[in-house]
Structure formats: structure tokens, C-alpha cells
């Protein structure tokens, strides 16, 4: 028995599913989760000493690769000064200043501790600012596990096969309206029916929790127009796309300005950090200046700020960082597309920048319904082959592959394509 198997056997008696976040249990791919001992650059090593080329990257934060030396140094230096004070610090001022500088739509920002917390708080600010209650979200989009968002959500909820979650009272979701991604008519209908009651539309500007589903031409612009028409706020949930598609995230990449943005993952470089921000008049609704209450013991934690500041500074100051990363992504996913096509595998490969996902379906995947046509058993078999050949992919069809600056074309990407090619040739 491997050490991972031993640990998992004990873990399931101590934590629900043996994990602290459902997708890590490898439930939908029928494998024993690998217990990771260390990570560096593009690699993770498990407790049995197996090394993997990692395409999860902690679900997005590791855009520079694991344990970038400058990030690690900043964390160690900050930790040496104390782990947390529960008081204002200079690092929070620096972080807020940097975010406002690199994301033009952010005039004011509040740090929190996770993407979920960022979304929960942004929704409350939007409701407080507009005095309205209803929120539109999109089927298959995942915005963390705050009650109001656990309606036809993506990611682990989608994998669990439950459209919603138990334990969420109807009162918490009665104001959550679901529209279909890339379907403006479905949004228009909701606005026509109750536009004056809609506080906000929240959207992943690139769907990445039903697998990767980029916005079709005009979709995001259409949301902006509808929100302006009905006086609702447009919230971009950039927990995944923030600082990934461009330095100013998807909003910079597509040129659409949201009223509020939520961040997570990359902003903390692997430490527990989330943030929400946007128009000053909305953010000034937030306590202690405004009537919208929100707080957090460890929000703006100095060690987490040091990690985030180090990573964002590298992203900001490295010449052509995003041009190079996105070009590398385009090359890699187009090579993957060629492998799949040459092998005659029924597939839809969606990718944008350093995000991508192969769906085992002959349909074009543009929303939740088409994503659900994918053969998750086939995905599980693919996953099993890849992990047993040293390639660590998302243990679910409805997640993304994340490339980092540490993945080198001639090394990790070439090796990955070789393992993939061998598999697809044998299994189509
Ligand atoms: P967290 O609370 O997990 O930090 O962020 C929630 C969240 C919010 N918005 C978007 C667009 C997200 O993708 C997420 C979390 N992403 C998942 C991966 N699909 C986290 C992985 C997990 O749940 O373990």
C-alpha cells in the first residue's frame, strides 16, 4: 500500500471525504488522492516520492510556478516580523495601492481571506448600494460556497452531481436567478420580468468551473448594456481570471469595465487571500464608513500580503509576461488539439491564454448543458493514465488546466504532449 493510500484511509475517518475541499478527494475520477509533500516550479512531489508536472497549480494561484524564490523570501521575511497583528499595516496599503494601479476599474478595495468571502461581500455591497435583493448568476458558474451562490453551481457542486446544496434554506436562494452562459436572451428575460429588483449580475468572465467556457462575442458587452439599462451592478468574478489573462484580468483582456470585481488565488500567491473592489461610491457603502457590514480577523494578514505583493509585483514588472504566457498556452493547446484530432477522439478543447480544458464530447461546449454532454468516464480514464505517467491534471472534467511561467515548452509541455499522444492514439 502506498503512503497516499495509508494517509487517505486515515483521513476519511477524520475529515469529510478525507479532505478539506471536495474536489481533492478525486471522487469523480475514482483514484486515490495523491498526498503532496512538496512543490517547486512546475512540479509537485507526493509522499511516495512520485514527481508530477502540475496543471492544477493550487487551482490557479501558482502562475509563476510553485515556491517562486522571491515570493518565498518575502513570506519568510514577513513571518519573521510576526504572523498577524489584527491591526493596520503598511503592507495592506501597498497591496491596495498596487491593485488599484493595475486594475483600472478598482477605485477602492477590501482584502478578505478567500474567493468565497470576496463574492459574499461583493454581493452584500451590491445589494446595500442598490437597495435591491435579486442577483443573476449563470448555470455552471461557481462563485464559492456562500449560500446564495449554491444554485446550479459549477466546480465541485457540478461534479457532485447535485444542482444545489443541502442545508441551504429556500430563503437564501429565492433571490438568486439563474441564466444560461453565453445566452443574452436568458438574461434579458430575467431583466424584463424583474429588472428593477435586480441588484447585480455576477459572472465568471471566462467560465472555468464547468470546464473552460470562454464568453462568445458580445456576451460580456451585452451584460454591461443590460446592467446599465436597469441600474444593476455588473460583478466580474475574477477569482480565476484575475491577474491570469492579463495584468488586469479578463476585464483588461476583453475591455469591459465591471462595477465590482472579486479576486482570489493569484492575489495571494498560494496564501489565503481574497479581495473585492470597484467603484468608490459602492465600496464606501462598506463598514466602517458605510452601512454594509463585513469584517475578518485575518483579512490583510501581513504574511499573506507579502506573498501577494511579491507575486503581483513580478507579474507587473516582468516584460511581456502575459504575452509570453498566453502565447505558450496557445501553442500548447493547439498541439493538444492536433493530437486529439489526429487520433480521431470525439472532443471539444476550449482554451484561452493559459487556461484550457478538453471535454470528451462531439458537441461544441459553450454552456453548462453542452458541458454536461461530456463523457466523464472517459475523462476519468484519461486522468488515470496521465497521473500514472507523472502528469497531474484536475481530478474532474469540470475544472481547468492551468499553465504557469514555470512550464517550459521543450521540457514539461513536450513531455505532457508525448504522454497525451500515447494515450489518445491507444484510446479513441
Ligand atoms: P475560494 O473560496 O475557494 O477561495 O474561491 C471560490 C471561487 C470563487 N469564484 C471562482 C470563479 C472560483 O473558481 C472559486 C474557487 N475555484 C475552485 C476551483 N474550481 C477552488 C477549488 C476548490 O474548491 O477546492
pLDDT in tens, 234-260: 999 999 999 999 999 999 999 999 999
Q: What number does the ligand 1 atom closest to the CA of 24 have?
A: 24
Contact present, 103 and 251 (Cβ < 8 Å): yes
Residue 244, phi then psi, degrees to nearest 5: -105, -50
Residue range 113-131: average pLDDT?
Answer: 98
Q: How confident is the model at residue 155 (pLDDT cuts 50, 70, 90)?
A: confident
Mutate to test the pocket of ligand 1, among 57, 209, 268, 394 (most ligand atoms within 8 A of CB): 209
Residues 258-272: tens digit of each pLDDT: 999 999 999 999 999
Given a cut of 60, whether residue 213 has pLDDT beyond it is yes
Per-residue pLDDT at 374? 97
pLDDT at 156: 78
Task: Name 134's bridge partners.
Answer: 198
Which residue owns the Cα nearest ligand 1 atom 23? 21
Is the alpha carbon torsion for 109, 115, 119, 124 positive or negative?
Answer: negative
Q: What is the mean pLDDT of residues 141-149?
A: 96
Residue 162 has pLDDT above 90, yes or no: no
> What is the residue with the minimal CA distance to atom 6 of ligand 1?
144
pLDDT value of residue 158 = 72
* Residue 417 Cα to ligand 1 middle (Å): 27
Tell me the torsion sign for CA atoms 134, 135, 139, 144. Answer: negative
Q: How far apart are CA 389 and CA 383, in angstroms?
A: 10
| pLDDT reported for residue 384 | 97
Mean pLDDT over 87-96 rounds to 98
Mutate to test the pocket of ligand 1, among 20, 33, 155, 249 (most ligand atoms within 8 A of CB): 155
Q: Is the pLDDT confidence value at 161 over 60?
A: no
User: Which range, of 20-29, 297-306, 394-403, 419-428, averages the lowest pLDDT?
Assistant: 419-428
- Tell me the pairing of strands 260-263 and 233-237: parallel
- Average pLDDT for the chain: 96
pLDDT for the residue numbered 421: 96
Band (152; pLDDT cuts 50, 70, 90)? confident
Band the pLDDT of 157: cuts 50, 70, 90.
Answer: confident
Mean pLDDT over 32-50 rounds to 98
Of the candidate ranges 80-89, 152-161, 387-396, 413-422, the one whose mean pLDDT is the lowest = 152-161
Ligand 1 center to 422 CA (angstroms): 32
Three-state secondary structure call for residue 48 = coil
Residue 159 has pLDDT above 80, yes or no: no
CA-wise closest residue to 173 among 207, 146, 197: 146
The rounded Å distance from CA 196 to ligand 1 centre is 30
Which among 235, 239, 267, 304 is the best mutation to test ligand 1's pocket, defined by most ligand atoms within 8 Å of the CB? 239
Could you report the per-residue pLDDT of 164-207, keeping only the tens digit for each? 889 998 889 999 999 999 999 999 999 999 979 999 999 999 99
At 259 the pLDDT is 99
Contact 180, 126 (CB under 8 A): no
Percent pLDDT > 90 in the chain is: 94
Which of ligand 1's atoms lies nearest the C-alpha of 119?
Answer: 8
Known catalytic residues are 142, 237, 265
| 159-163, 279-283, 345-349, 369-373, range with the lowest pLDDT | 159-163
User: Residue 105: which of 322, 290, 286, 277 has the closest Cα?
Assistant: 277
Cβ contacts of residue 85 below 8 Å, gap of 6+? Answer: 302
Whether 274 shows a pLDDT value over 80: the answer reads yes
**Going by CA atoms, what residue is nearest to atom 21 of ligand 1?**
59
Amino acid at each position: 500500500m502506498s503512503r497516499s493510500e495509508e494517509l487517505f484511509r486515515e483521513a476519511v475517518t477524520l475529515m469529510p471525504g478525507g479532505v478539506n475541499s471536495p474536489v481533492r478527494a478525486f471522487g469523480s475520477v475514482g483514484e486515490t488522492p495523491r498526498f503532496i509533500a512538496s512543490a517547486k516550479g512546475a512540479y509537485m512531489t507526493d509522499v511516495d516520492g512520485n514527481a508530477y508536472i502540475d496543471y492544477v497549480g493550487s487551482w490557479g494561484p501558482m502562475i509563476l510556478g510553485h515556491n517562486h524564490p522571491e515570493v518565498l523570501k518575502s513570506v519568510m521575511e514577513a513571518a519573521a516580523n510576526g504572523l498577524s497583528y489584527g491591526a493596520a499595516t503598511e503592507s495592506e496599503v501597498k497591496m491596495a495601492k498596487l491593485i488599484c494601479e493595475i486594475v483600472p476599474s478598482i477605485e477602492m478595495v477590501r482584502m478578505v481571506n478567500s474567493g468565497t468571502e470576496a463574492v459574499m461581500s461583493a454581493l452584500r455591497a451590491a445589494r446595500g448600494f442598490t437597495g435591491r435583493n435579486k442577483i443573476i448568476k449563470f448555470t455552471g458558474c461557481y462563485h464559492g460556497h456562500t449560500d446564495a451562490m449554491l444554485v446550479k453551481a459549477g466546480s465541485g457542486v457540478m461534479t457532485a452531481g447535485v444542482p444545489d446544496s443541502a442545508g441551504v434554506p429556500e430563503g437564501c436562494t429565492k433571490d438568486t436567478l439563474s441564466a444560461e452562459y453565453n445566452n443574452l436572451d436568458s438574461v434579458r428575460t430575467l431583466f424584463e420580468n424583474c429588472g428593477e429588483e435586480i441588484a447585480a449580475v455576477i459572472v465568471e468572465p471566462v467560465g472555468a468551473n464547468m470546464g473552460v467556457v470562454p464568453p462568445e462575442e458580445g456576451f460580456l458587452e451585452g451584460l454591461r448594456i443590460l446592467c446599465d439599462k436597469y441600474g444593476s451592478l455588473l460583478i466580474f468574478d475574477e477569482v480565476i481570471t484575475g491577474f491570469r489573462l492579463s495584468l488586469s484580468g479578463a476585464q483588461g483582456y476583453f475591455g469591459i469595465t465591471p462595477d465590482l470585481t472579486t479576486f482570489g488565488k493569484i492575489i495571494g500567491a498560494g496564501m489565503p487571500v481574497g479581495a473585492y473592489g470597484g467603484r468608490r461610491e459602492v465600496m464606501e457603502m462598506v463598514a466602517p464608513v458605510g452601512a454594509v457590514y463585513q469584517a475578518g480577523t485575518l483579512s490583510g494578514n501581513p504574511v499573506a500580503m507579502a506573498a501577494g505583493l511579491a507575486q503581483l509585483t513580478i507579474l507587473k514588472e516582468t516584460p511581456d509576461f502575459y504575452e509570453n504566457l498566453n502565447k505558450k498556452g496557445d501553442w500548447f493547446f493547439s498541439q493538444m488539439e492536433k493530437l486529439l484530432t489526429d487520433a480521431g477522439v470525439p472532443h471539444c478543447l476550449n482554451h484561452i491564454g493559459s487556461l484550457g480544458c478538453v471535454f470528451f464530447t462531439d458537441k461544441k461546449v459553450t454552456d453548462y448543458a453542452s458541458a454536461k454532454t461530456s463523457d466523464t468516464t472517459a475523462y476519468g480514464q484519461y486522468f488515470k493514465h496521465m497521473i500514472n505517467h507523472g502528469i497531474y491534471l484536475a481530478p474532474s472534467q469540470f475544472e481547468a488546466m492551468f499553465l504557469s511561467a514555470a512550464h517550459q515548452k521543450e521540457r514539461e509541455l513536450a513531455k505532457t504532449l508525448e504522454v497525451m499522444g500515447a494515450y489518445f492514439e491507444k484510446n479513441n
